[in-house]
Structures are given as C-alpha cells and as structure tokens.
Amino acid sequence: MLTVKVGRRGQITVPRKVRQALDLKEGDGLAFIIEADQVVLQPISQTLLDLRGSVPVKGPQDFAEIRKQVTRGRGRRLQDGE
C-alpha cells in the first residue's frame, strides 16, 4: 500500500510506482471515480477533442439543434425519475 498526505490546498503527489503502473506522464489526465467507500484512479488517455472527426457524418451539423434535443431528452428523463 502506498500513502500520501493531502497538502494545504487539497493537492496530492501521485507516487512514482503509481505513475509508472498507469504509465502517467506530465500533462496526462487522471480521473477520480468514487465507488461507495473507495476511490479509483483512471488515466484519461483521450478527450472528446481528440475524437473530433473520428465519426463520419453526411453534410453540416446543426449543433444548436442537437444541444436542444439533448436538453429535452434529459428533461424528460428527469421528469420520469430516471
């Protein structure tokens, strides 16, 4: 088990063994996933911007309309208690 101390501003240093095990380099992302009474560290290898253009689409996309559709869908799910 490796332990670290939380600094004054809530910062921690990821131990070398953990960085090596996760192949973390300077500037890499790291997600903290809370599962019940534990936290899982997950390296973030890609962002949504990295995936831009990876799905072929036909014609121009109306992102304002897509956002409205997503917002309406979320609203319906919230109303239904999901």
Label residues 37-47 b or e (16+ Cβ within 10 Å = b). eeeeeeeeeee
pLDDT of 79 above 90: no
User: Out of 1.10.3470, 2.10.260, 2.30.110, 3.40.50, which CATH number does the structure's domain 10-46 have?
Assistant: 2.10.260
In the chain, the amino acid numbered 7 is: G
pLDDT digits (tens, 9 = 90+) for 45-70: 777 777 777 788 888 888 899 899 99
Where in the chain are the domains?
A: 10-46
Distances (CA, A) of 5 to 2, 11, 17, 29, 32: 11, 9, 16, 20, 16
pLDDT digits (tens, 9 = 90+) for 8-32: 999 999 999 999 999 999 988 899 9
The answer to whether the predicted template modeling score (pTM) of the entire model surpasses 0.75 is: no
**In contact, 36 and 25? CB cutoff 8 Å:** no
